[in-house]
Chain A
Amino acid sequence: MNSTAVFRAEGIGKSYPGVRANDDVSFQVDAGQIHALLGENGAGKSTLVKMIYGLVRPDQGRMSLMGAPHQPADPRAARAAGVAMVFQHFSLFDALTVAENIALGMENPPPRRELSARITKVSHDFGLPLNPARRIVTLSAGERQRVEIIRCLLQNPRLLIMDEPTSVLTPQEAELLFATLRKLAAQGTAILYISHKLDEIRTHCDCATILRHGRVVDSCDPRAHSARELAAMMVGGEMRDIDRSGRQAGEVLLKVQDLSLPAPNAEGTALKSVSLELRAGQILGIGGVAGNGQEELLAALTGETRSASGTITLEGADLSPLPPEQRRKAGLLTAPEDRLGHAAVPDFSLTENTLLTAGARKGLVRNGLIDHRAARSFAESVIAAFDVRTPGPHVTARALSGGNLQKFVIGREVLQDPRVLVVNQPTWGVDASAAAFVRQSLLDLARQGAGVIVISQDLDELLELSDQFCALNEGRLSEPCPTEGLTLDQIGLMLGGAHGMQEAAL
């Protein structure tokens, strides 16, 4: 093997009760390489990087870093050996400044002034503008990620692991990130890059290792393959084409007029005069970086927050004063982003979870009394129709994988035959085949004459599904424009461009 390998894994294995998370995994990451780790959810990517970062210990096999054996007992040891990791979910204290947050993560933080100077220097060198004196709460998701990245860069890592870093970024911010990664690679750092987004892997990564069911099934140069081929390697079969045919825009179903709501709390976003129109058979995509009012808009549509009268009408009927169950009765159904704890009660069985939304439309509740048998048979029909992999409807929601629970949650709404369905982040953290299934079910629903609103951060998903696209930015909704012919650049501009592209004011 060649001598530039920074990291090498040989025959790594790891079992959890009932699951073989990793089995005989071998691969290597070279200096200066951006190496993609590809695979569906549950393919073993997280377990693998957790072992490299010292969070989990392998049962079998050897790892080496810079030629020396790598057996970190904990993340601290892994960091000392030269491994850094940027997690998908940030661990930052909102009330503290950038410099304070970075100091908290260091073993021996230098004096604050010196640290600030170093942060400024590193952020300049790598083209990641960041003001060390700003409080985290004032930063966009992209800027928060920069804090995490700079925190890593200050350790001069030999191997940098990035877990789905672009899921929270606008296209422009993602470009900025890749420019940084390139610079870093040019200095000889090895980068292990985890993502679901096949297109960005094809453009930016030098090498890809593909995992399926815990094993390495292939490794390739992603630039030499199409996204379809990569997806096929991941799922081990041909991807089904999405069928968009057979839909016609009909009469207006849902109308939102001049909807304004104050921010629900300090972290929330106020909705500012949001208006939209949804026709039968139409899919409206709402893009935007998380935290720009997506959750608030969904809450206003479900009825969790009530808005001024006349702001929300369904087929001419004013829904604004109605509580959630009345809106469902009228035909406006929703599926929130957070599956565990919002769209479903984690400790309740799937049968019980049908009662959250389907009580009235499916006749599961009559005169206030629950028909448990009807609820169970409805849960069974959701499981069957949406291919939810679970031993049965008695299983708790918590026990399902993300993709399976998402199929259940979407299926629960789709099978209620809604007039309008609003979904937020329908495929977030869901593996490719489950995501394709969910998307197809939304298209099928629209073909049958329902209106669908898809709120998502995944622009590829929006382009694939929607007829009309609009962007939600700081609580304002842009004018809709037809998706046909829209480019990623135009969309990026609609989303408000990259946040914080200007040099940090110091």
Chain B
Amino acid sequence: MIRLVPRSTASTFWQVATPVMAVLATMIAGGVLFAIMGHDPVTAIRTIFWDPLFGPAAAYSRPQLLVKAAPLILIASGLAIGFRAGIWNIGAEGQYIIGGLTGGAVALAAYPSEGAWIFPAMVIAGAAGGWAWGMIPALLRNWFGASEILVSLMLVYVAQRVAAWMAFGPMKNPEGFGFPGSRNLQQYPAASNPELIAGTGAHWGVVAAAVAVLVTWVLVSRHIRGFHIRAAGSAPRAARFAGVNPATLVAFCLGLSGALAGMAGLFEVAGPAGQITDKLGTGYGFTAIIVAFLGRLHPVGILLAGLLLALTYIGGELAQLTMQLPAATVQVFQGMLLFFLLGFDVLTRFRIQRKGQS
């Protein structure tokens, strides 16, 4: 028999070790899964985790790493702040979509004028859109006690409908021969979010993600506001005693994570995606939740986790191409990762003790 004994202080060693163990366990379980499906597990794992960086086609796939990691890190940085306070924004995907729409709207409205103000205005509009979409669950929670988990999640589906409406209606490219989708912003220099250094994949979103990591790091570790956020998540009454207003905190956390998600959406629309379509949301907002937890809600952890999850995206695509693995592989992998992480997490709060009989 084994028994779980609670630790009085959470183990620092296991806090770092559990994400690593979760990744290894995911590789093993994934390998077993591939073996059952009739693929060589070692090749499959290598294709997903190794080839994107060092394989024969790495020159193409490597820049994709930053392209995919940037929105994940940007969104997860905001989400982690709320998660630390016990405020669960599950709807970053919706805030991402709305941010892409509002930011893109600025560009489409300004078209075809050229001006240095256009791109910054788009970033601000994107952040504002995501912020506003995040404020809906915040206000509903503060006014009526509605669960921000459900409201923010359901607003994702509303946002998807809005994106479809925009792509087929008001924002449709008038010169697009009737195809759905907006003008291509990559062909509109004042509004585009290009690769800044050739061959790296780094666009303005990557810069923003790096800034977000630094700023949230300072916020969480050095700023009294971050201290209050952590206190509110750990002991809400103590936080109130210290002077935290719970309603303000809810608005701050949902607003901040919404704004960062909205910004990520805009960078995607103006950059890699290039246009507003009904497929604007690609799941970054949901994957970012895994990134936040895998990164232990810590900015540096989120940076690493974001890169890892980006790798599974690229590797999954590669495995689809070269091994004909199904497209759902990536999602299975990400799901397993979160599952194993939460499972191993027990070890940070509990010790395993062997027990004699009875």
Using CB atoms and an 8 Å cutoff, list the residues of chain A in contact with chain B.
Answer: 302-304, 323-325, 328, 334, 336, 338, 340-348, 352, 355-357, 359, 365, 368-370, 372, 395-396, 398-399
- Say how far A214's CB is from chain B's closest CB, in angstroms: 20
In the complex, which of the residues A336, A343, A345, A368 contacts B223, with contact meaning CB atoms closer than 8 Å?
Answer: A368
Across the interface, do A324 and B227 meet the contact criterion of CB distance under 8 Å? no
Return chain A residues, CB-CB under 8 Å to B10: 347
Would you call B222 and A370 a contact (CB within 8 A)? Answer: yes
Residues from chain B with Cβ under 8 Å of A302 in the complex: 241
**A355 to B243 CA separation, bound complex (whole angstroms):** 11
Query: Which residue of B8, B224, B234, B237 is within 8 Å of A338 (Cβ)?
Result: B237
B267 to chain A, nearest CB (A): 28
18 contacts between A and B (CB under 8 A): A323-B243, A324-B241, A324-B243, A328-B243, A341-B235, A342-B235, A345-B234, A347-B9, A347-B235, A348-B234, A355-B224, A355-B242, A356-B231, A357-B241, A357-B242, A396-B8, A396-B9, A398-B9
Complex interface bits, B223-255 against A, C-beta within 8 A gives 1, otherwise 0 = 111010011001101111111010000000000
Q: Check if A345 sits within 8 Å of B9, measured CB to CB.
A: no
A8: min CB distance to chain B, Å: 26
Docked CA distance A344–B234 (Å)? 10
The number of chain B residues with a CB under 8 A from chain A is 20
B241 and A342 form a contact (CB under 8 A): yes
Cα separation A167 to B107 with both chains bound (whole Å): 70
Q: How far apart are the CA atoms of A341 and B242 in the complex, in Å?
A: 11
Chain B residues with a Cβ under 8 A of chain A: 8-10, 222-225, 227, 230-231, 234-235, 237-243, 245
By the criterion CB–CB under 8 Å, are A355 and B227 in contact?
A: yes
CB of B243 within 8 A of CB of A325, answer yes
A365-B224 Cα distance, complex, nearest whole Å? 7
A346 engages B234 (CB within 8 Å): yes
Among candidates B8, B222, B238, B245, residue contacting A356 with C-beta atoms closer than 8 Å: B238
What residues of chain B lie closer than 8 Å to A340, measured between beta carbons? 235
The complex places the Cα of A343 from the Cα of B225 at a distance, in Å, of 18
CA of A323 to CA of B227, assembled, Å: 17
Chain B nearest Cβ from A54, distance in angstroms: 15
Contact B241 A336 (CB under 8 A): yes
* A346 proximity list for chain B (CB < 8 A): 234-235
Chain B residues with CB under 8 A of A372: 222
Q: Using Cβ atoms and an 8 Å threshold, which residues of chain A touch B243?
A: 303, 323-325, 328
Closest to A364 in B: B224
Q: Are A324 and B235 in contact (CB under 8 A)?
A: no
Contacts of A355 in B (CB 8 A): 224, 227, 242
Is A359 a contact of B224 with CB atoms below 8 Å? yes
Q: Which residues of A contact B222 (CB under 8 A)?
A: 369-370, 372
- CB within 8 Å for A352 and B227 given contacts A345-B234, A347-B234: yes
Given the complex of chains A and B, what is the CA–CA distance between A340 and B222 in angstroms?
A: 24
Given A323-B243, A342-B237, A343-B238, verify A348-B231 contact (CB < 8 Å). Answer: yes
A355 to B234, CA, bound (A): 14
User: Given the interface contacts A345-B234, A345-B235, does A356 sit within 8 Å of B242 by beta carbon?
Assistant: yes
Query: Shortest CB–CB separation between residue A243 and chain B, in angstroms?
Result: 31
- Give the residue of B227, B237, B238 whose beta carbon is less than 8 angstroms from that of A370: B227
Which residue of B8, B230, B231, B239 contacts A398 across the interface (Cβ within 8 Å)? B8
Please measure, in the bound complex, the distance between the C-alpha atom of A302 and the C-alpha atom of B245, giving whole angstroms: 13
CB distance from B207 to the nearest CB of A (A): 24
Cα A346 to Cα B237 in complex, Å, equals: 11
- Name the A residues within 8 Å of B240 (CB-CB): 304, 324
